[in-house]
């Protein structure tokens, strides 16, 4: 084992922590893009936006309840609505127990729901759950560079297995189809987009970060204690020559990858909804019919003419046929009357403003 003592003792434990923070920040960026799309479709799809907000509040409340359960505070009251959730403990515990419960509330929704999908992936036989040990850096694996390389290689192996599972997913398989639904629900309900029934306050990335920062400042000693525990665990792993430290943080990285992919799928669905809203009449429903119809048709074709790439080709045909149909309809069936009406309205408004300006100058 080579490398400077300062690198190994001080900086190496930070590698996996910084890796998890990076993926969590990427997760927040995708959440922000989803909230932007929800804002765009909200005027015509209020029910959908309320449903996604309910999912997010539900995930938050369950995570908070789990925090109370793990700290043995118990649960006396559990309330959930479209825009509000509350959990009341049986025993009011202060100090570290209260801090752990609130940690589950603020940080839990980013990782705990994805943990359910991670377990589903393991049951469904997804590969990539091994912790990598790059042989070319074996003598440097306990340095900062070695740790970040091992962390990255572990996440790369999982991403390969996860993407391989997604591309080969059989939507006629109940387990695969159920996993896809859970993946969509997770993406749609990662974080609330607004709070309050009457006063709908926007919940954006800055709102989340401000709450988390305020939460940290209230009890900075506990965060320092958590860092010290991570360092001690790293030293134990180093002393026993095991990859336990990287393995623990790699799990958080796996959860972030699952969450990011679920958000990308949710963004794609919202983009489809936003695009089809511009198509006039009954034609706007054709892309949604194309999704299952194209998949079933191509699977019937492969039933009589089987191939080794049935699942991946079926998924690609479903995706690209929906994109092509949507594009054709968008070009040919757009509500041109509404567009012309909007243009005329803008022209009248502009003309009215010009007339007012001219009268003001004349006076």
CA–CA gap between residue 256 and residue 118 (Å, rounded): 10
Count CB-CB contacts under 10 A for residue 225: 13
Extended strands (E) in the chain: 77-80, 85-88, 194-195, 201-202
Q: Is 87 within 8 Å of 68 (Cβ atoms)?
A: yes
Using CA of residue 31, residue 32, residue 36, residue 42, what is the dihedral sign?
A: positive
Supply the pLDDT for residue 341.
44
48 alpha-carbon distance from chain centroid: 17
139 — pLDDT class (breaks 50, 70, 90): low
Q: Does residue 353 have a pLDDT over 80?
A: no
Q: Is 129 within 8 Å of 158 (Cβ atoms)?
A: yes
Nearest to 114 by CA among 220, 171, 185, 19: 185
Six-digit token string for 116: 């359910």
Instruction: Give the single-character DSSP code of 8.
Output: I
CA–CA gap between residue 87 and residue 77 (Å, rounded): 6
Domain ranges of the chain: 5-275, 280-362
pLDDT tens digits for range 82-125: 888 888 888 888 888 888 888 888 888 889 999 999 999 999 98
142 — pLDDT class (breaks 50, 70, 90): confident
- Between vectors from CA 329 to CA 323 and to CA 183, what angle results, nearest 5°? 35
Which residue, chain included where needed, has tokens 């079926």? 314
CA–CA gap between residue 71 and residue 93 (Å, rounded): 9
Supply the pLDDT for residue 99.
86
SS3 content of the chain, % helix, strand, coil (to 5): 75, 5, 20
Q: Does residue 339 have a pLDDT over 80?
A: no
CA–CA gap between residue 240 and residue 250 (Å, rounded): 19
- Average pLDDT on 113-139 reads 81
CA–CA gap between residue 42 and residue 48 (Å, rounded): 8
- Average pLDDT on 135-155 reads 78
**Distance between first and last Cα of the chain:** 87
Cα distances from 225 to residues 78, 211, 228, 229, 230, in angstroms, run 31, 20, 5, 6, 9
pLDDT tens digits for range 275-316: 999 888 888 999 999 999 999 999 999 988 888 889 999 999
Strand partners, 77: 88
pLDDT tens digits for range 203-245: 777 777 787 778 777 888 888 998 999 999 999 988 888 888 9
CA–CA gap between residue 95 and residue 76 (Å, rounded): 20
Instruction: Give the single-character DSSP code of 278.
Output: T
SS3 state at 204: coil
Six-digit token string for 100: 């752990």
Six-digit token string for 193: 């987009």
Strand partners, 167: none
- Average pLDDT on 27-34 reads 91
Q: Give the range among 14-23, 61-70, 134-143, 296-305 with minimum mean pLDDT.
A: 134-143
Q: Is 246 within 8 Å of 147 (Cβ atoms)?
A: yes
């Amino acid at each position: 084992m080579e490398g400077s003592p300062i690198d190994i003792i001080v900086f190496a434990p930070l590698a996996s922590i910084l890796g998890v923070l990076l993926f969590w920040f990427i997760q927040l960026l995708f959440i922000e893009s989803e909230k932007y799309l929800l804002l765009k479709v909200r005027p015509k799809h209020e029910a959908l936006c309320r449903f996604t907000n309910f999912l997010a509040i539900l995930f938050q409340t369950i995570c908070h309840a789990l925090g109370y359960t793990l700290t043995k505070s118990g649960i006396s009251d559990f309330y959930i609505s479209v825009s509000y959730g509350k959990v009341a403990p049986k025993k009011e515990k202060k100090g570290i127990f209260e801090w752990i419960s609130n940690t589950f509330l603020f940080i839990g929704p980013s990782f705990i729901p994805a943990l359910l999908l991670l377990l589903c992936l393991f049951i469904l036989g997804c590969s990539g759950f091994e912790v990598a040990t790059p042989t070319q850096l074996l003598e440097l694996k306990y340095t900062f560079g070695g740790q970040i390389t091992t962390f990255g290689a572990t996440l790369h192996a999982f991403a390969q297995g996860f993407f391989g599972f997604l591309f080969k997913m059989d939507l006629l398989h109940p387990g695969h189809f159920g996993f896809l639904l859970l993946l969509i629900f997770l993406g749609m309900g990662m974080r609330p987009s607004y709070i309050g029934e009457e006063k709908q306050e926007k919940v954006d990335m800055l709102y989340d970060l401000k709450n988390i920062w305020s939460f940290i400042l209230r009890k900075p000693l506990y965060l320092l204690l958590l860092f010290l525990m991570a360092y001690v665990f790293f030293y134990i792993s180093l002393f026993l020559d095991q990859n336990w430290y990287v393995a623990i943080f790699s799990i958080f990285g796996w959860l972030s990858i699952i969450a990011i992919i679920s958000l990308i799928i949710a963004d794609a669905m919202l983009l489809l909804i936003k695009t089809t809203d511009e198509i006039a009449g009954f034609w706007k429903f054709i892309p949604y019919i194309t999704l299952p119809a194209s998949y079933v048709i191509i699977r019937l074709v492969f039933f009589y003419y089987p191939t080794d790439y049935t699942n991946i080709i079926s998924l690609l045909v479903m995706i690209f046929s929906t994109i092509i149909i949507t594009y054709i309809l968008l070009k040919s069936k757009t509500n041109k009357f509404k567009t012309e009406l909007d243009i005329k309205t803008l022209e009248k408004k502009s003309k009215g403003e010009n007339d007012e300006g001219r009268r003001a100058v004349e006076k």
